[in-house]
Structure 1
């Protein structure tokens, strides 16, 4: 695991941008000292160190080659475990952190034959999520890659935009500064890792959508049950009223009225039973378990 730290920093803090020599630091080889100095100073100042102490610590980082990346995105989340990875983080603008986009997983690796994982439970329509690969500053003459997935709703067709990335970099083969990325055999493994993260995200999203739709259908079925029960109770009261007043009604008319009311009661009871069956079905999953307790089902049920 590389010695890389992320921290928030105010926009006004002067940090040298990735231009000129520093712009190529993400392509392998040693990170330029001027980029380490600028980022390290901003990082230590954000930790509450005085300016003089930050300068001393910055010099130590330059000497040891420790890269500290100040986080310019205030909306970036904290790292957490998800999708089979120990440390992942949502980043709104990865390139603002000095990460360079390598490409989508299926574009980088020919072994990935699909062009994204479907998010809809049907698995054949709607949005797709794709694995994405970013490259961070190199170390010891080797490139370092971060795998993740591109935001399926806010990224463009090339994958640029917000992304969730795994903060455990994969170290590539030794390359010179102008080495072509196709020569780095590690990229295939990185692409499969990114595709695996995207696949797990898609699976969770499909489960959520299925539970959400089931919760929404269950709420509608509950409304149908209440409506059918109310109409059934009203029909029963009307039937009892006919029976109470049967002596004041012609026998033939009374029989005809009761017959129609019984047919109506049977129809209402069948509707009530169908709605109840639908409600119970909305609780079940295709795996034999139940949606009860799933936050997607709860959101769908409470969504008006």
Structure 2
């Protein structure tokens, strides 16, 4: 069985958000939602997440899980905001579970030292952490978790029907691959994760975590399009032949050498400190301002996100 996949692009951070549903039962999951944060002012808004909520309401879906592919370094997650709002809008259904891969504990341990995050803030930060190859249901459709390390050690993907939500483990062919220089990252691991994806059936769709559209694009599921437009997926077959970093014939040593040299010259993502502080807390906000994160305006629905 195949799900209905709704794609929502957040242009400020270049992030793809996904709403994936069983159209028969109307059960759905959200993947990698974005919380809008303005670094200079510390203002939080919910424009991107509210687009998801509007779509959920319009389609009469019931959201059972909010899924993260990894602890993002370039945007704040809207998982707890969505959980709070949906819990009120779905009073006859359980509150959606905020989920991530089980190796999030490794990232939490590292980042708690960097940003002085109290241990209590990380206790039960996520409602569920997935084991490798764990399965779960979205209505009548089975979803499977796959471990895809490299960009980060905790990184996972979700296989739902013939669709794979890859996060930052592979990018569209003209972008290629993600950086591997975060703590616990590995270019070797990323190459192997990308090979795992490229070994899937050729018709499978690989939905990416980001896109950075150029002035023109020639690849979208093997079809020609023009104009500056973000693309949510390409097929495994297209990736095998056109991914500029790992297409057929690319040797691991060559990829690792290039990726390592490239990463050595990259600066930090502009929201790194803010994203890490929120995302390892499972989407909850710090109790107050800090040197690394200002919180000047927080919507009322977010006030309950702060862990007390």
Q: Which has the higher contact order (CA 8 A, sep 6+)?
A: 2
Structure with bigger helix share is 1
**Considering only CA atoms, is the larger Rg found in Structure 1 or Structure 2?**
1
TM-score bin (small chain): under 0.3
Structure with bigger strand share is 2
State the TM-score, normalized to the length of structure 1.
0.22
